[in-house]
Chains A and B, each alone.
Chain A
Amino acid sequence: MADGVKPRVKAPKKAAAGDVVTLKTLISHKMESGQRKGKDGNLIPKSIINRFTCAFNGKNVVDVTLESAISTNPYFEFEATVPEAGDFQFTWYDDDGSVYEETKSVAIG
C-alpha cells in the first residue's frame, strides 16, 4: 500500500522561542478498516496506519496509536511548544511495514 501515500503538514515557518504553535497533518491513506466487504462478498483485510508520532529536534510532542475507527486520510491537529530553532519530524507507521516521514523547519524570529 505504498502507492499514492502523500503526507501533508501545515506548520508555521517562524515562531518566537517558547511559543505554542498549532500543527495540522494529513496523510492520504485508505485506512481499510477490515469491516468492509469487497465485490466478491469477502471482507477486505485490515490495512491501516497504526502509529503517528511528532517530535521536535528529537523530543517527543505527541505519539498517537491509531485503530481502525480513524477515518480515511488520517488528519491530526495538535499544539507544540517551540523552544528553539529546529525541525519537526513527523512519522507515520503503516501496517504493511512502510514508514512515511515528513520534516518541517521552524526558524526563530
Chain B
Amino acid sequence: MEFSRRDTLALGAGAVALAVMPFQVNAAADEAIAAFTGGADLADGGVTVTAPEIAENGNTVPVSVEAAGATSILLLASGNPTPGVAQFNFGELAGSQSASTRIRLAGTQDVVAIAKMADGSFARAASTVKVTIGGCGG
C-alpha cells in the first residue's frame, strides 16, 4: 500500500489526536486526585491494586485494593468518561484495609488507587488493564 501525501498528512493528524486524547482524560482523574488529597504529595508503595492484566469484558473487571494502615482508599479509572470508581472509608471494626469489587472500564487504561493513611500522608498505586470490549456502552 502506497501513501499519498494526503494520506500521510491525515495519518499524522490522527496520530497527534490520539496522543493528545489521554492527557485530556487524565486531567479529570488528576482533578479527582487533587480533590481527595488536597494537593498533598503522593508516595509510592504502601498500597496495592490487584487487577487482571487482560480483561475480556470491560463491563465487570474484578479489582481489589489493599493498604495497611489506611483510613480511606480512592479508586479511579483514569481512562473512563468519568474517572471516579469508588471510595472506601474504613471504620473502627474493619478487619483489614482491603476490599474487592467489580468495576466497569471503557478501554485499556490504568486503574489508580490513592490511599489516605492514618497519619495524613497519601500513597498511590496503579495497575494497567487491557480491555478487549469496553464497558461504557460505546
Contact = CB atoms under 8 A, between A and B. Distances in A.
A52 to B, nearest CB: 9
Interface string B1-24: 000000000000000000000000
Nearest to A74: B101
A5 interface: no
A78 B93 contact: no
A56 B90 CA distance: 13
Contacts of A81: 93-95
B102 A70 contact: yes
Contacts of A67: 82, 84-86
B100 A77 contact: yes
Nearest to B99: A78
Interface string B107-135: 00000000000000000000000000001
Nearest to A44: B137
Contact of B93 (A22, A61, A65, A75): A61
Interface residues of A, number: 32
B102 A71 contact: yes
Nearest to A69: B85
A21 B94 CA distance: 10
Given A78-B94, A79-B98, A35 B89 contact: no
A108 interface: no
A51 to B, nearest CB: 10
B96 to A, nearest CB: 5
A8 B100 CA distance: 16
Contact of B59 (A56, A61, A66, A72): A72
26 contacts: A33-B136, A35-B81, A35-B136, A55-B93, A60-B91, A61-B91, A62-B88, A62-B90, A62-B94, A64-B87, A66-B86, A68-B82, A68-B84, A69-B103, A70-B85, A70-B86, A71-B61, A71-B103, A76-B100, A77-B100, A77-B101, A78-B98, A78-B99, A79-B94, A79-B96, A80-B95
Given A64-B89, A70-B85, A71-B104, 9 more contacts: A20-B96, A69-B105, A75-B100, A76-B100, A76-B101, A78-B88, A78-B96, A81-B94, A81-B95
Interface of B: 59-61, 64, 77, 80-96, 98-105, 135-137
